[in-house]
């Protein structure tokens, strides 16, 4: 393909071109001769960034920034030092359809809500481009239908395309990649609970640690039963379930959940019988047994244990990632009767094959197991192997939360358990969603 850099806007030049060439290039009219059309399809049209019109005029962009359009692929390319982004890319590529879809003019984009106003009904993915200029730090485009679009160059640099796809956005916008406990000696220190409630920097530290490690501990949080609700609302909104918004974890007569007994609980995630089990759990110790031992909490990094299972027993890892397990909760509580049922793999994988969520609760795993007869024994052996790995000291820790201490953990990653106890023990519990928690973290970072 040929490229013809110009030092003038495209429209003055087009006025000098034969009508057939103009029609072929931008209007694609059918009356053009096939041979001419074939030749035109193998050309690249150059667009100048200059605002001048004379045949010998020099570009006004200080870096000589130029734009060219490949008619075949419908891609606009910015060339020149001014196009260079922080990664050192000398050329920036943008599909024409994407540019038209993401026009930043006031007709197409609402700056107050940062939302697209252009309706898909009015969008033409084959819209032809007739002029491109760079003025005052913006790429300005004139489309064949007369619409003028504008795009800040800084905004474009963060969104250019490569052969492999669009450049990744600011990595801080996404949830952080987990830091597995087996990769370093994870022994969390306690954050100050009062600071978290009053200082945005302390709250941001809590949220960042939660993304990385899956577990954050707070001290000096007090024993007010309403303080957990205030923390949830400081982050976002607590999630309501059939157990309520803020729920009491204590021994109750006629318990609807084994958590409401004094017995031992194995490692589990909460509420796997939901289609979307809670993302984040908070447990606030109001009163802990003092005169007798028991009531210790344990936490295990399920992602870390799952990766060890992948390394040691890949066939068991694959089975837990593909076989669906039934989880069920059927009972009644103070609120009402309930009957929840859902099927999940124990190890839920993301698009890249990484473990993104764990669903596991031995006490609420249903007796209905929809597996072929020949896979049942292997399933139980894989389940047992994964459970035993959770108790490996490299993936787990045990502590006895005291009055006024709080554990915040990723429910789909960090499994929790409890030893049996005697006497009085009261925890307040709540759930948060990652969507709203990540939103809060981004706002605190000014993103």
pLDDT, tens digit (0-9, with 9 covering 90-100), for 169-221: 788 899 999 999 999 889 899 999 999 999 999 999 999 999 999 999 999 99
pLDDT interval class at 11 (50, 70, 90): very low
Residue 177 has what DSSP assignment?
P
Largest CA distance in the chain: 97
**Encoding tokens for residue 345?**
């793999």
pLDDT tens track for 94-106 = 999 999 999 999 9
C-alpha to C-alpha distances, 141 to 10, 99, 106, nearest whole angstrom: 11, 9, 14
The CATH code of domain 2-168 reads: 3.30.2020.30
Q: What percent of the chain shows pLDDT beyond 70?
A: 83
Could you report the per-residue pLDDT of 106-127, keeping only the tens digit for each? Answer: 999 999 999 999 999 999 999 9
Class (C level, CATH) for 181-445:
alpha beta
Q: What number of residues does the chain have?
A: 447
- Per-residue pLDDT, averaged over 16-23, amounts to 31
Q: And the tokens for 356?
A: 């993104």
Q: If pLDDT is split at 50, 70 and 90, which confidence band does 263 have?
A: confident
CATH 3.30.2020.30 in the chain: give the residue spans.
2-168
CA angle 112, 116, 118 (to 5 degrees): 125
How much is the average pLDDT of 51-80? 65
CB 237 within 8 A of CB 244: no
Average pLDDT on 47-71 reads 52
Whose tokens are 């990649």? That residue is: 177
**Cα–Cα distance between 433 and 208 in angstroms, integer?**
15
What's the whole-number average pLDDT of the chain? 85
Matching residue, tokens 């970072």: 445
pTM (two decimals): 0.81
pLDDT of residue 289: 79
């Amino acid at each position: 393909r040929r490229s013809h850099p110009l030092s003038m806007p495209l429209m003055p030049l087009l006025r000098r071109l034969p009508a057939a060439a103009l029609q072929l290039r931008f209007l694609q009219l059918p009356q053009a001769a096939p041979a001419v059309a074939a030749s035109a399809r193998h050309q690249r049209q150059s667009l100048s960034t200059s605002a001048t019109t004379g045949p010998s005029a020099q570009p006004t962009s200080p870096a000589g920034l130029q734009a060219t359009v490949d008619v075949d692929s419908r891609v606009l390319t910015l060339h020149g030092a001014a196009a260079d982004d922080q990664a050192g890319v000398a050329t920036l590529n943008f599909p024409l359809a994407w540019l038209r879809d993401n026009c930043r003019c006031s007709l197409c984009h609402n700056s107050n809500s940062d939302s697209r106003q252009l309706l898909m009904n009015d969008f033409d993915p084959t819209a032809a481009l007739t002029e491109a200029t760079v003025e005052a730090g913006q790429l300005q485009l004139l489309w064949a239908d007369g619409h003028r679009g504008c795009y800040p160059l800084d905004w474009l640099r963060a969104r250019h395309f490569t052969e492999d796809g669009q450049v990744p956005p600011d990595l801080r916008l996404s949830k952080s990649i987990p830091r597995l406990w087996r990769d370093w000696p994870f022994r969390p220190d306690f954050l100050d609970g009062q600071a978290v409630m009053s200082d945005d920097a302390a709250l941001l530290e809590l949220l960042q640690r939660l993304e990385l490690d899956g577990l954050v501990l707070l001290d000096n949080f007090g024993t007010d039963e309403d303080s957990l609700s205030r923390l949830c609302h400081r982050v976002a909104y607590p999630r309501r379930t059939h157990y309520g918004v803020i729920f009491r974890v204590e021994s109750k007569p006629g318990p609807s959940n084994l958590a409401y007994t004094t017995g031992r609980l194995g490692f589990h995630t909460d509420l796997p019988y939901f289609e979307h089990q809670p993302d984040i759990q908070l447990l606030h110790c109001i009163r802990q047994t003092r005169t007798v031992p028991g009531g210790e909490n344990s936490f295990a990094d399920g992602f870390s244990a799952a990766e060890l299972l992948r390394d040691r027993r890949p066939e068991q890892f694959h089975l837990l990632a593909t076989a669906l397990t039934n989880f069920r909760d059927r009972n009644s509580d103070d609120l009402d009767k309930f009957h929840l049922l859902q099927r999940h793999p124990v190890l839920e994988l993301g698009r890249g094959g990484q473990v993104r969520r764990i669903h596991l609760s031995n006490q609420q795993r249903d007796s209905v197991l929809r597996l072929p007869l020949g896979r049942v024994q292997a399933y139980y052996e894989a389940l047992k192997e994964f459970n035993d790995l959770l108790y490996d000291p490299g993936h787990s820790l045990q502590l006895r939360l005291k009055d006024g201490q709080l554990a915040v953990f990723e429910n789909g990653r960090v499994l929790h358990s409890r030893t049996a106890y005697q006497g009085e023990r009261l925890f307040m519990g709540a759930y948060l969603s990652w969507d709203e928690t990540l939103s809060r973290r981004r706002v605190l970072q000014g993103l």
